[in-house]
Amino acid sequence: VAAPQINLMVATSLASLMTAGSLAIFNFANNFAQFPMGLIGIPFAAAVFPALAKSFASLDKEVFIKDFFATFRKIAYLTVPLSLLIFIFRTQIIEIIFKTGKFNQGAIEITAVCLGFFALGIWANSLIPLVLRAFFAFQDTKTPTIIAISAMVLNIGLSFIFVRLMNSVAGLPLAFSIDSILQLLLLMFFLNQKIKKYF
């Protein structure tokens, strides 16, 4: 739970050191990108968790895998197209929501770039809560914690690298998306090992 908050603190600190408005731009894009996870990823993961825990307790591999992948597919079917649509229409989305007051064309463009980079990892970010619940069903909090800490360190490192290379706040969401995808892949790899071990 703490790892994403630490990532956000570091990103906020980096954004606040950049040109005026960078922090607001990052926050606008981040808040929008978090919406699919809160609307789809977390509710689906919370809903299937009791079934996963029950099937593990009874060592019913078939039901566990069926429930997990059925939910995995549902989240993916919703969030992958959504990620693509947000990426394609990122500029239009930002213009509709924020083209008022002091939010000028330059701010719209950089915010759209940030949203586009966030969109690359929305699907992964939305699937991570489900995979974490699968580990919790196995009564394993150690593995996802180690992966979360590793991902946090990677995200911080990538944030510094991309911000320096791009000289823009857009480096932060790119780091977040790459980190989310790698974290999901790691979680799926170790979950597969755990399924083989216990079943």
pLDDT 10s digits, 42-53: 999 999 999 999
Residue 106 has what pLDDT? 79
| Residue 139 backbone dihedrals phi, psi, to 5 degrees | 60, 35
149 or 96, which is more confident: 149
Q: Which amino acid is at 144?
A: P
Choose from 94-98, 167-171, 183-187 the range with maximum mean pLDDT: 183-187
Mean pLDDT across 88-106: 79
Taking the C-alpha atoms of residue 87 and residue 190, their distance in angstroms, rounded to an integer, is 30
Report the percentage of the chain scoring pLDDT > 90: 63
Residue 194 has what pLDDT? 87
Residue 17 has what pLDDT? 86
Mean pLDDT across 106-122: 91
Residue 100 has what pLDDT? 62
Residue 181 has what pLDDT? 96
What tokens appear for 105 in the block?
């064309």
What tokens appear for 57 in the block?
């307790």
198 pLDDT above the threshold of 80: no
Mean pLDDT across 128-149: 94
Cβ pair 98, 112 in contact under 8 A: no
118 pLDDT above the threshold of 90: yes
Residue 24 has what pLDDT? 86
Cβ pair 172, 159 in contact under 8 A: yes
Mean pLDDT across 151-178: 93
